[in-house]
C-alpha cells in the first residue's frame, strides 16, 4: 500500500491556471505560506483568453509582473460591421486608464508562463504539478484535502483556507454545495488562431452577419484570431477540418498565406454560482463564474477575484483582521461578476442577432442611438461597461472626495519619488494598507500611539503633492506628474485609506485622519458577518 505524505500550509490553491497563479503571486507578495496544485503536469496551451483591460493589467502589476513580462498589443478601437448597414458601432479603446492601456490583446499561454515564472521567485509558494484534489473536507478548524498523483500516491494537506481555482468544471464548487445556476446560453464557436498573417489588422472587428457572426482580432507576434459561430447542425468534426477552415478564412486570405496555430470548437456558457465561499473554502475564477468572451471579461473577472481575496486571506492569517472579513469577498465580487456576464449576454444579443430582420432592426437602432452625443459617448467610450464599484462590503459607505469612490478603485498616476525615479503610484502605496495624504502629511495629525500601531501593522503612509512642490515631511512624498491624484482625485488637505487591492476604504479632510484610521482598524477587527468563520488555528509554513 502507498504511504500517505502529510503537509501543512496556510492556503491551498487547487488549480494552477491563470487565476490560481495570480492568486499565488499575490499571496507570495503578502508572504503567506501557500501550496498550489494542478492535476495537469504542464500549462494548458489551447486558444483561450486574448483580451485584457486596464483593470486586469493593474492587477498583474500588483502581482509583480512588469510591462514586458508577456507580449501584449494595445487595441485602439473595436468596430462593429453589418453586411446590410456597414459600420454601425465603434468603441474607442485608445489611450490608457490608471496607467495601463484600456484594451490589449495577448496570448494566454504566454501570460500563464509569466505568472509561473513569478511564482518561482516566491519562496513561500510551493507548487505541486500532476496532483489532483480528490477529497476535500472543511473540518471547521482547518481544511483537509487529499491529493492523488499519476502513480496513485496520496498526499494529505491541512490548510487554514482552501481556494478552488479549478476552472469551469470545478470539483471544489461541488464540495461547498454550489452549482452554476441560471440558463447557460450555451453556444458553440470555432476559434482559429493563425500566425504569420501577411497584413494583420490593428483593431478588433465584429462581423455581425446573422448567417455567421465572426469576431476577428490581432494579437502580438503576428497572430490573428477568428471566432466563427456554429450554425444549427454543424459539428466540431466538420468545422475543424482543413477544407472548412480554408473556406471560412477565404474572405480575408488563403490558408497558404499563413500558419494555422490552433483550431478548436468551444462551447460558451454564461453562469455564476450563488455564493463564492463557505466556511474556509472559497472559489475564484471560472470555478465561480463563466461568461462568453464577447467583452473579454472571463479571465479579467477571475483576476479581480484574486486581487480581492489575497489580501483578505493574508490579513486574517497574519492576525491583522477578523476571519469574518472573508464574507465581504462574496458580497463585493459576485454582483460585479454577474453584471459582466449580463453585459456579455447583452453584447451577444445586440451585436450578433440570429436573423436578418432582427439584425437590421437592432443594428439600425444602435446606429440611430449613436447620433445623440450623450448616448454615443456611453456606447463609444465604454460607459456601458459596469463600473467596478462595490455597493456593500469592507469599506465605509458614504460620500467621498470628487474623484474618489469609497468601494471603488483609487486612480493610479505616474509619480516621481524623491530620488527622481518615475513610477506608477500603486508602487508608492506598497503592498499593504496605505494612509494617503493629498498635498498634506497625515502622520502629523495622528496620536503617537495610533501612528505606531499603524506602522507596526506593516501599513504605509505616503503623500502625493503637486508636481514640483517638495514639502518637508517625515513620510515619503511623491510628485503627481499629471495632477491625476492632486487635485483631480482629491483636493489638497484630503486623506484617504486605501486597501491593498487599491480600493478606497474611507476618506475625509486631514482633520479626520485619526477617526479614519481608527474606523479602518475597527472594520478589520470586527467586520459585519464575523460569525461566518470560526477563529482559525495556527498553521505553519508550507511543508
Ligand X SMILES: Cc1cc2nc3c(=O)[nH]c(=O)nc-3n(C[C@H](O)[C@H](O)[C@H](O)COP(=O)(O)OP(=O)(O)OC[C@H]3O[C@@H](n4cnc5c(N)ncnc54)[C@H](O)[C@@H]3O)c2cc1C
Q: Output the smallest distance, CB 297 to ligand X, in A.
A: 5
Is 39 among the residues that bind ligand X (CB under 6 A)?
yes
Q: Output the smallest distance, CB 23 to ligand X, in A.
A: 9
Q: How far apart are CA 265 and CA 328, in angstroms?
A: 37
Instruction: Specify burial of residue 296 (Cβ count, 10 A radius: 0-12, 13-18, 19+).
Output: buried
Helices 327-351 and 356-369, axial angle in degrees (round to 10): 110
Residues contacting residue 227 through CB under 8 Å, at least 6 positions apart: 189, 190, 191, 192, 214, 215, 216, 293
Stretch that binds ligand X, among 17-25, 179-187, 356-364, 529-537 (CB under 6 A): 17-25
Q: How far apart are CA 284 and CA 203, in angstroms?
A: 31
Is 167 among the residues that bind ligand X (CB under 6 A)?
yes
Q: Which of 17, 101, 353, 437 binds ligand X (CB under 6 A)?
A: 17
Stretch that binds ligand X, among 87-95, 160-168, 194-202, 317-325 (CB under 6 A): 160-168
Q: If we measure between CA atoms, which residue out of 517, 459, 494, 333 comes closest to residue 407?
A: 333
Residues contacting residue 300 through CB under 8 Å, at least 6 positions apart: 52, 53, 55, 56, 340
Q: Residue holding cell 454601425?
A: 88
Q: Output the smallest distance, CB 186 to ligand X, in A.
A: 13
Find how far residue 44's CA is from the centre of its chain: 19
Is 261 among the residues that bind ligand X (CB under 6 A)?
no
Is 16 among the residues that bind ligand X (CB under 6 A)?
yes
Residue 228 or 379: the one with the smaller Cβ distance to ligand X is: 228
Is 186 among the residues that bind ligand X (CB under 6 A)?
no
Q: Which of 133, 160, 162, 190 binds ligand X (CB under 6 A)?
A: 133
Which H, E and C letters describe 232-301, residue by residue? CCCCHHHHHCHHHHHHHHCCCCCHHHCEEEEEEEEEECCEECCCCEECCEEECHHHCEECCHHHCCHHHH
Restricted to residues 439-458, the positions that interact with ligand X (CB under 6 A) are: none
Q: Output the smallest distance, CB 163 to ligand X, in A.
A: 11
Strand partners, 479: 416, 465
Tell whether omega for the bond before 487 is within 30 degrees of 0, i.e. cis. yes
Is 132 among the residues that bind ligand X (CB under 6 A)?
yes
Tell me the residue nearest to ligand X as measured from the CB: 17
- CA quadruple 536, 140, 391, 12: dihedral sign: positive
Restricted to residues 277-306, the positions that interact with ligand X (CB under 6 A) are: 285-286, 293, 296-300, 302
Q: Output the smallest distance, CB 217 to ligand X, in A.
A: 9
Q: How far apart are CA 95 and CA 91, in angstroms?
A: 12
Q: Output the smallest distance, CB 341 to ligand X, in A.
A: 12
Binding residues for ligand X, total number by CB under 6 A: 35
- Say if CB 488 and CB 427 are below 8 A apart: no
Q: Residue holding cell 502507498?
A: 2
Residue 71 or 476: the one with the smaller Cβ distance to ligand X is: 71
Residue 302 or 500: the one with the smaller Cβ distance to ligand X is: 302
Is 166 among the residues that bind ligand X (CB under 6 A)?
yes
Is 165 among the residues that bind ligand X (CB under 6 A)?
yes
Give the three cell numbers for residue 340: 459582466
Q: Output the smallest distance, CB 119 to ligand X, in A.
A: 13
DSSP state at residue 411: P
Residues contacting residue 137 through CB under 8 Å, at least 6 positions apart: 143, 144, 145
Q: Output the smallest distance, CB 347 to ligand X, in A.
A: 12
Q: Which of 10, 11, 13, 19 binds ligand X (CB under 6 A)?
A: 19
Q: How far apart are CA 486 and CA 413, in angstroms?
A: 10
Q: Output the smallest distance, CB 379 to ligand X, in A.
A: 20
Is 348 among the residues that bind ligand X (CB under 6 A)?
no
Is 12 among the residues that bind ligand X (CB under 6 A)?
no
Restricted to residues 91-130, the positions that interact with ligand X (CB under 6 A) are: 108
Q: Which of 37, 143, 309, 314 binds ligand X (CB under 6 A)?
A: 37
Q: Which of 48, 72, 304, 334 binds ligand X (CB under 6 A)?
A: 48
Residue numbers of the site for ligand X (CB under 6 A)? 14-20, 37-40, 44, 47-51, 108, 132-133, 165-167, 171, 191, 266, 285-286, 293, 296-300, 302
Amino acid at each position: 500500500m502507498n504511504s500517505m505524505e502529510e503537509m501543512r500550509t496556510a492556503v491551498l490553491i487547487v488549480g494552477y491556471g491563470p487565476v490560481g497563479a495570480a492568486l499565488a503571486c499575490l499571496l507570495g507578495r503578502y508572504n503567506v505560506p501557500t501550496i498550489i496544485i494542478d492535476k495537469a503536469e504542464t500549462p494548458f496551451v489551447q486558444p483561450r483568453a486574448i483580451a485584457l483591460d486596464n483593470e486586469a493589467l493593474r492587477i498583474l502589476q500588483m502581482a509583480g509582473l512588469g510591462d514586458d513580462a508577456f507580449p501584449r498589443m494595445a487595441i485602439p478601437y473595436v468596430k462593429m460591421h453589418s453586411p446590410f448597414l456597414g459600420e454601425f458601432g465603434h468603441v474607442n479603446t485608445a489611450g490608457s486608464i490608471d496607467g495601463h492601456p484600456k484594451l490589449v490583446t495577448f496570448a494566454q499561454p504566454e501570460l500563464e508562463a509569466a505568472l509561473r515564472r513569478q511564482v518561482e521567485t516566491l519562496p513561500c509558494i510551493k507548487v505541486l504539478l500532476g496532483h489532483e484534489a480528490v477529497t476535500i473536507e472543511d473540518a471547521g478548524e482547518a481544511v483537509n484535502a487529499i491529493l492523488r498523483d499519476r502513480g496513485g500516491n496520496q498526499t494529505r494537506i491541512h490548510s487554514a483556507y482552501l481556494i478552488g481555482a479549478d476552472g469551469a468544471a470545478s470539483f471544489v464548487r461541488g464540495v461547498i454545495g454550489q452549482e452554476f445556476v441560471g440558463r447557460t446560453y450555451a453556444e458553440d464557436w470555432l476559434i482559429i488562431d493563425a500566425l504569420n498573417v501577411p497584413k494583420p489588422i490593428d483593431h478588433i472587428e465584429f462581423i455581425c452577419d446573422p448567417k455567421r457572426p465572426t469576431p476577428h482580432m490581432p494579437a502580438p507576434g503576428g497572430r490573428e484570431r477568428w471566432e466563427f459561430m456554429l450554425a444549427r447542425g454543424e459539428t466540431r468534426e466538420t468545422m475543424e477540418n482543413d477544407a472548412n477552415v480554408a473556406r471560412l478564412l477565404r474572405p480575408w486570405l488563403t490558408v497558404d498565406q499563413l500558419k494555422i496555430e490552433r483550431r478548436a470548437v468551444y462551447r460558451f456558457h454564461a453562469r455564476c454560482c450563488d455564493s463564492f465561499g463557505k466556511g474556509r473554502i472559497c472559489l475564484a475564477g471560472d470555478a465561480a463564474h463563466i461568461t462568453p468572451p464577447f467583452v473579454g471579461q472571463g479571465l479579467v473577472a477571475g483576476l479581480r477575484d484574486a486581487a480581492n481575496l489575497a489580501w483578505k486571506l493574508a490579513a486574517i492569517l497574519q492576525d491583522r483582521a477578523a476571519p469574518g472579513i472573508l464574507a465581504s469577498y462574496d458580497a463585493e465580487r459576485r454582483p460585479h461578476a454577474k453584471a459582466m456576464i449580463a453585459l456579455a449576454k447583452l453584447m451577444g444579443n445586440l451585436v450578433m442577432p440570429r436573423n436578418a430582420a432582427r439584425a437590421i432592426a437592432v443594428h439600425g437602432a444602435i446606429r440611430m442611438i449613436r447620433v445623440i452625443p450623450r448616448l454615443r459617448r456611453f456606447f463609444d467610450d465604454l460607459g456601458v461597461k459596469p463600473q467596478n464599484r462595490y455597493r456593500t462590503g469592507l469599506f465605509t459607505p458614504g460620500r467621498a472626495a470628487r474623484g474618489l469612490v469609497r468601494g471603488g478603485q483609487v486612480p493610479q498616476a505616474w509619480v516621481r519619488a524623491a530620488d527622481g525615479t518615475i513610477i506608477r503610484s500603486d508602487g508608492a502605496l506598497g503592498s499593504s494598507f496605505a494612509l494617503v495624504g493629498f498635498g498634506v502629511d497625515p502622520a502629523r495629525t495622528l496620536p503617537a500611539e495610533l501612528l505606531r500601531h499603524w506602522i507596526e501593522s506593516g501599513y504605509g503612509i505616503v503623500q502625493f503633492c503637486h508636481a514640483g512642490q517638495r514639502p518637508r515631511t517625515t513620510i515619503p512624498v511623491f510628485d503627481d506628474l499629471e495632477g491625476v491624484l492632486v487635485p483631480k482625485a482629491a483636493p489638497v488637505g484630503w486623506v484617504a485609506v486605501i486597501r491593498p487591492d487599491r480600493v478606497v476604504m474611507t476618506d475625509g479632510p486631514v482633520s479626520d485622519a485619526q477617526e479614519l484610521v481608527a474606523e479602518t482598524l475597527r472594520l478589520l477587527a470586527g467586520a459585519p458577518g464575523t460569525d461566518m468563520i470560526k477563529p482559525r488555528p495556527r498553521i505553519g509554513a508550507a511543508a
